[in-house]
Structure 1
Amino acid sequence: MTDLTIDRTLAFPVERVWRAMTDPAALTAWFWPRRFDPTVEVDLRVGGRYRIDGPAVGMAVSGEYVAVEPPHRLVFTWLWDGEDAETLVTVELTPTADGTRLVLRHERFVDDEAAKSHAQGWDDCLDRLPAWLTHSTE
């Protein structure tokens, strides 16, 4: 079993990054590419569920919120449609002098290959986040 950690610094306040990670409209706008035609459902509470669907490419992920501690910590399960292996994601947001440090830990993978694939996916997603943060209106 293995896991991955991604550490990024974003030049935006913690509250704004929190919104990007938890608001369904925000997630719809940046999480997956527009060509996926994404939709997002969020019930942001411990025990609440979320779903990110990309019907144009036939993929979706869903899970349950395990910890919701605004605006600093979010923990949720992660399960791809059609798969059995549920993993766990923890997002920690810490204020810095320049904005926000985002540390994402994704754990409980069955092997290194699954972790490597997810690391690439998270990098792709998080690469889109700064542009959304720059152009979004609160």
Structure 2
Amino acid sequence: MTIENDKELAAPGVVRIGRTLDAPPARVWRAFTDPDELAGWFWPPSFKTSAALDLRPGGQYRIAASTPEMAVSGEYLEVEPPRECAFAWRWDGDDHTSVVRIELLGDGDLTELRLAHEQLPADAVDAHHQGWSDCLDRLPGHLA
């Protein structure tokens, strides 16, 4: 199940995406918070992704690709395992910082993932919506 951004109802500068995943919340949490796991699904394999995470409020993270050369980094703002985290998001070479919030709901073998990317410039909303959609489309295969 996919909940796509409803542009008529969404606040300006916000992307909201949801997924129902066939894995318990602790497993989905690990996919987002273990550097090796995150690097394994976040971008396509051809990107040769690496990730470094210091998972605590105030801790830094960096997700980088070598082909094409690009990276995003920031600071963890909230960390509540295995249910919620929020982090600042800044692309290398960009002066703008936005905020990503991830919430994992559910018990048992299913997780409802809710992602909100807030404080985006209006001209970046569509690209980030597409990027997060592509990214989250790879997650079920990784979890399987």
* Counterpart among 108, 116, 141 of residue 131 in structure 1: 141
Gaps of 5+ in 1: none
Instruction: Read off the aligned partner of 1:55 and give its amino acid letter.
Output: S
> Are residues 1:115 and 2:128 paired?
no
Task: Report percent identity of matched pairs.
Answer: 50
Deviations for 1:34-84, whole angstroms, at most 9, x for unmatched residues? 111111000000000100000110110001000000000010000000001
1:63 maps to which of 46, 53, 74: 74
Structure 2: distance between partners of 1:60 and 1:93: 25
- Runs in 1 of length 4+ with deviation above 4 angstroms? none
Structure 2 unaligned regions, length at least 5: 1-11
User: Match of 1:121, as an amino acid?
Assistant: G
1:46 aligns with 2:45: no
TM-score normalised per structure 2: 0.89
Question: Is 1:29 the counterpart of 2:40 in the alignment?
Answer: yes
Q: Distance in 1 between matches of 2:121 and 2:27?
A: 33
Secondary structure in 2 aligned to 1:17? helix
Is 1:104 aligned to 2:115, yes or no?
yes
Please report the RMSD computed on the Cα atoms of aligned residues, expressed in angstroms: 1.1
Counterpart in the other structure of 1:13 = 24
Using the TM superposition, give the Cα deviation of residue 97 of structure 1 relative to its aligned residue in structure 2, in angstroms. Answer: 6.4
Secondary structure at the aligned position of 1:2 is classed as coil
Give the structure-1-normalised TM-score.
Answer: 0.93
The answer (yes or no) to whether the contact 2:51–2:62 under 8 Å persists in 1 is yes
Q: What is the letter of the counterpart of residue 103 of structure 2?
A: E
Kept in 1, the 8 Å contact 2:24–2:108? The answer is: no
